[in-house]
Structure 1
Amino acid sequence: MPTVEADALESFARTALVEAGAPADAAGAVASSLVDADLAGHTSHGVVRVPWYVEGVATGDVDPDAEPSVESAGPFAQVVGGAAFGQLVGRRAVETLVETTRDRGVAAVGIRDSGHLGRIGEWAERVAGEGLLFASWVNLQGGAQRIAPHGSADRRLGTNPLTFAVPAFGALPFDPVYDGATSQVAHGKVIERDGSGERLPEAWTVTDSGAPVEHAADFEAGEGALLPLGGRETGYKGFGLATMAELFAAVVGGGPVATEPDQAWRGNGAAFLAVDPAAFTTPEAVAGKVEALAEHVRSADP
């Protein structure tokens, strides 16, 4: 596999987005986030998304000139994307979240009408980097659903990721972050294989016959659905988590729930929450807990 320098990759993504109609500043922000995802090892949310975003601009699902707005009341706010690139919405949401949490000790920000928010772990890392706890629930507004309920092959929900982060305050070289879809895999993993021609692993999908979808192109054409996290045996757990993410994002963000499977809308709604641990303890105590847990986990036999 060829290696491409990060700067060159970012330049490519930025140029492609500008040529699609995005302002230079917006294209630069989106390209930076996509390359950040690639560098973090999450290539399903990296520059592989550029053609998807360009298509979104062409179809009107993404407004390249839109700027997100903020509606706030005390420690609570909603960021209305207006179909802007999700990376712009995510930045605005994090800025609002951090600023409000600094003042109030806790804050919640809802998001609606956003383009694809990208790697949610980026937003978690930014908040944890400010010394704050982070949690989020994300849904896919409108149509383009991917996950089937446990025991079905009909698409009913998006991949609805759950994301959490805890500041390590120097106890580790990174802040602990969990960022994962509530399906067996993120939809981006399917997109990657659509480009490579690889067959889809059997554990990812299901069709009406109970068999998996073999090829990504068939899945993208509407065949089958992604299995919820837990797969064929215990997928009720993943679908339960996906359902709660759907509702949290819709209630806090103010957007719709997934009731229109045939609508070709690719945007996200979300609920972001931040808590200042200083309201409960000290940074030294948090660092001690993080370090103790890390050592306990690492002590397990391979």
Structure 2
Amino acid sequence: MTVIDADTLEVFAASLLGELGTPADTAAKVAVSLVDADRKGHTSHGVLRIPTYGEMIADGVLVPDGKPTTEHSAGGTAVVDGQNAFGQLVGRTAVDILVQRATEDGLAGVGIQNATHLGRIGEWAEQVVQQGLCFLSFVHTSGGGLVVAPAGSTTRRFSTNPITAAVPTFGKLPFPIVLDMATSQVAHGKLDAAEADDRALPDEWAVTPEGEPLTDPSEMGSFRAGDEWGAIRPLGGTTAGHKGTGLAVMAELFAGLLGGGPVAGQRDPEAWFNNGAYFMAIDPTRFGDRERMERQVDAFVEHFRAADSEPSVAAGDVAGSKPLLPGEAEYQTARERSDEGIPLPERVVDQLTELAVAHDVDHPFVGE
């Protein structure tokens, strides 16, 4: 692992994005989002993504100087067309509209289409709850880049179709409660991160076309691979995969119907992914007294913290060793990495260094 401080990584990421044709203000915003993902422990959505963004720009599916537009805006609703700009720019646009409308009307919904890659959806949830609002979202990939098989199948039919929900904690915790989860056993980026770390996959994560556990992440293929490659299992795996399948269906249709982009089955599945979504925000104080909600948060957190930590009970392949509230791991990791720096797998460092050299950009990786 190479450890680097967040500020240095941000400056480097922005410079690299700039050489890929991104305007300086957009490059800075994208870099902030990517490094924030790394800082909070989500390497899969961090600077690891820059080489992929470069490929998308080269293929004409990501417009580095693109600007999102707002369509069908009325009352508490709107649709944001990302115009194939950076998803980090599209996400900010959607959140700004969402917060304004929910603050005014108590409840708002924004559909999103043509967003390329929205990044870590938890970032958008955190921005909304910082304004005292609740958040809910459904995301899909507009019919392209399918990697997840339904329960009982090895055929790719979904994206990882994340569902995200968040609530403010009214100052009772130093972090908001944010659930940001794939409806598959694991996000595709976690497989990229495992490959970068030369780690084998747990048996329950993915399946080969023949129905056997897939443990070598290189055999998974990319978002653009076909059914001759492996597939990620739905959330619940071999014991409750029907539940993950059902959640994936709902995310696909909410994002497609309300965002307006194509759903799986309407587009070449081996095309580049292109996120569509539905974001919702709710002002909880329209439904009751803030002081009552503060007491509820206090009582629930105390109740949750009283659960015993039993090392012999497995929490999952990517979970911690003790019960944590949704969003707590990100908060803890961010605090640690603010002091100690951000660790990057050597394969990610190699890829970024190679890209930097190719574009004559100074890189911060000493000795590379």
Instruction: Report the TM-score range of the alignment, normalised by the length of the smaller protein.
Output: over 0.9
Deviations 1:195-217 (A, max 9, x none): 23322221110123211223222
Aligned to 2:176: 175
Shift of 1:27: 0.8
Asked whether 1:225 is paired with 2:231, we answer: yes
Inter-partner Cα distance in structure 1 for 2:240 and 2:268: 24
User: Could you tell me the TM-score, scaled by structure 1's length?
Assistant: 0.97
Return the offset for 1:261: 5.0
Equivalent runs, 1:57-136 vs 2, <5 Å = 57-71=57-71, 72-136=73-137
Runs of 4+ in 1 over 3 A off after TM superposition: 260-263
Where does residue 27 of structure 1 map in the other structure? 27
Equivalence map 1:182-261=2 (5 Å): 182-220=183-221, 222=225, 223-259=229-265, 260-261=267-268
1:36 maps to 36
Note the alpha carbon deviations across 1:233-291, whole angstroms, 9 max, x for none: 21110010011000000011011111135332221000000111111112222222112
Unaligned runs of 5+ in 2: 310-368
Instruction: Give matches, 1:135-150, under 5 Å.
Output: 135-150=136-151
The aligned residue for residue 2 of structure 1 is: 2
RMSD between aligned residues: 1.2
What residue is the counterpart of 2:289 in the other structure? 282
Query: Which residue identity does 1:185 align to in structure 2?
Result: V
How many angstroms apart in 1 are the aligned matches of 2:143 and 2:307? 44
Answer yes or no: is the 8 Å Cα contact 1:156–1:261 preserved in 2.
no
Partners in 2 of 1:87 and 1:206 — Cα distance?
31
Find the aligned partners of 1:165 and 1:240 in 2 and give their Cα distance. 21
Shift of 1:166: 0.5
| AA at the equivalent of 2:237 | G
Q: In structure 1, what residue type is equivalent to 2:298? A: E
Matched residue of 1:84: which SS?
coil
Which has more radius of gyration? 2
The total of aligned residue pairs comes to 302
* Higher mean C-alpha deviation, range 268-277 or range 13-22: 13-22
The SS at the match of 1:77 is strand
Q: 2: CA distance between counterparts of 1:290 and 1:42?
A: 27
Q: Distance in 2 between matches of 1:209 and 1:85?
A: 37
Structure 1, 284-293 or 117-126: larger mean CA deviation:
284-293
Paired residue for 1:160?
161
Aligned to 2:345: none
SS in 2 for 1:169: coil
The whole-number CA distance in structure 2 between the counterparts of 1:216 and 1:55 is: 20
- CA drift at 1:128: 0.4
On the 8 A contact 1:212/1:224 being kept in 2, the answer is no
SS of residue matched to 1:111: strand
Aligned partners of 2:236 and 2:242 also within 8 Å: yes
Percent of aligned pairs sharing the same letter: 52
